[in-house]
Structure 1
Amino acid sequence: MTEIKKKKSTAHILEIVVVIMLGITALFTAWASWVGSLHGGNQSTNYTKSNNIAAEGNSEYNAGVQNMMQDMMLWSEVSDLQIDISFAQDNGNDEALEQAANKLFFKLNDNLTSEMATVIGWNWEYASDNPTEIVLDWMQNEQATVSPFSDEAFVSSYFASAQTLLAESDAVLAQGVKDNTNGDAYGLVTVIYGVVLFLLGIAGSFKSDKNKYVIIAVSLLSFLIATIYMLTIPMPTGFSVIGFFKP
């Protein structure tokens, strides 16, 4: 009689343990599923944001190419006028010299960007009282005769904005990849918890206490492994439980 009561007591304890583990595992499964879905949402958001920023960066890059081509055409015209000025000087043709110098003066003043003006040494404060003298003085500088497009830093300046945006796009994309990886990890945790729930669900169907002990032990071990692994996975960016309850 005592042995029967002992078996019933043991069976009752096992049932309580199984019920408690079922409840805890169910809660942890729900938690892992929810956090995994948050990672999935962040992944989608970051991928979309990355694509939008990349599109903007590509647009800025194309604009940079167009601006550079315009400035290259301008420099080609400037170089041609410089040749005309030098040729007029060599031939003592003051009229042609003055005409070419005037063209060059106003072309530079009207079309130069501040970046290009700095590279070629053109001063915006030059007065237009005597364009010929100003242009001839400017042409004495080495900067005036060297193509600004030989300056790597100057060429890169056309694409500075695009490079910044594309770098930001890559960073956001990398975060999206991390969110995807973390979401997959939480998915794996959910699967393990599902296995635990299954094992606990069938534990009561075994008549042998030893079999029940084995099933419960395997379930507990799997639960601990899944929980420890889950704790190593980063939470979603900006995650706050309290934030979900704020109006």
Structure 2
Amino acid sequence: MSEEIKTTAEETAEETSETKKKKSFLSENAVEVLVAVFLGITAILTAWASWISSLHGGNQATNYTKSNNLAAEGNSMYNEGLQNYLSDIMVWNTYSEYVFDLEIANSKGSTAEAELIETKIANYIDQNGTDVLKDAMKAMENDDNIDSPFDIPNMTDKYYEEAEEKLAESQELLKEGQKDNSNGDSYNLVSVIYSLVLFMLGIVGVFKRLPNRAAVLGIAVVGLIATTVYMITIPMPTGFSFANYF
């Protein structure tokens, strides 16, 4: 009787053990399949992150080069504007001297001298002044309270308008390059984390106990998901489109 009870207990224990095995989701085969699947997914995502990082790097180099070229051009135009400004000051000073000499000649009654000076004055600004000075002279004709074209508000800023536009454009491209640099670094970080995930997936088979395998696999999957979510938040390179490659 006792032997029958013992046999029945053993059979019940075996059935219970088999039932647990059937109910267990992460069997050894399941773990191996999941590892293979996630290895493939992680490898693809790693390649993607590396590719996008290289595109950001290319955009960064392009934007930095354009920014430097525009900055050099803007600085050259700024120097040119400064030279024009100094030249117009000299032209205006000479013009003022002619006007003063004309007043003296008229006060003396020297008609011939006055006519000669008037001839010099007539086309002096048009022949020697820049467009900025010419426009300022026209503005002076409409306002008797202005004694010098350089007293007109914002007049001197016009010498540097084009240079400022170039320098502003250069700064915008520099900022774009800095963004590409930052985004490229972020994608590099993603690639590093994916490499860590690949490492963890690779060592799953080293552990003999199934719970340990499942634990390492779970950590790797969590890292994969978290990194992918982070990668999605990183902006793509400017102008990126798959259509450009077909």
User: Into which bin does the TM-score normalised by the smaller protein fall?
Assistant: 0.7 to 0.9
Task: Identify the residue that residue 132 of structure 1 maps to in structure 2.
Answer: none
- Verify the 8 A CA contact 1:120 1:146 in the aligned structure 2: no
Letter in 2 for 1:167: A
Task: Identify the residue that residue 102 of structure 2 maps to in structure 1.
Answer: 85
1:60-111: CA deviations, max 9, x gaps?
Answer: 1111111112111101101111111222233333333222222111312322
Looking at CA atoms only, which structure, 1 or 2, has the larger radius of gyration?
2
Letter in 2 for 1:82: V
Deviation at 1:214, TM superposition (A): 1.4
Deviation at 1:228, TM superposition (A): 0.4
Deviates more, 1:186-195 or 1:88-97: 88-97
Task: Identify the residue that residue 244 of structure 1 maps to in structure 2.
Answer: 245
3-state SS in 2 of match to 1:234: coil
- Cα distance between partner residues in 2 of 1:14 and 1:22: 12
Deviates more, 1:91-100 or 1:191-200: 91-100
Give the TM-score normalised by the residue count of structure 2. Answer: 0.85
Runs of 5+ in structure 2 lacking a partner? 1-13
Task: Identify the residue that residue 155 of structure 1 maps to in structure 2.
Answer: 156
- Cα distance between partner residues in 2 of 1:114 and 1:26: 63
- Cα distance between partner residues in 2 of 1:122 and 1:178: 45
Give the TM-score normalised by the residue count of structure 1. Answer: 0.85
- Cα distance between partner residues in 1 of 2:217 and 2:99: 91
Runs of 5+ in structure 1 lacking a partner? 124-137
In the alignment, is residue 167 of structure 1 matched against residue 147 of structure 2?
no
Aligned with 2:144 (options 142, 145, 159) = 142
Task: Identify the residue that residue 224 of structure 1 maps to in structure 2.
Answer: 225
Q: Give the 3 Å change call, closer, same or farther, for CA 122–152 of structure 1 in structure 2.
A: closer
Aligned ranges for residues 100-119 of structure 1 at < 5 Å? 100-119=117-136
Q: Give the 3 Å change call, closer, same or farther, for CA 48–206 of structure 1 in structure 2.
A: same
- The aligned length equals 229
3-state SS in 2 of match to 1:159: helix
- Cα distance between partner residues in 1 of 2:130 and 2:106: 28
- Verify the 8 A CA contact 1:121 1:141 in the aligned structure 2: no
- Cα distance between partner residues in 2 of 1:228 and 1:190: 13
- Cα distance between partner residues in 1 of 2:111 and 2:36: 105
The two structures, once aligned, show a CA RMSD in angstroms of 2.4
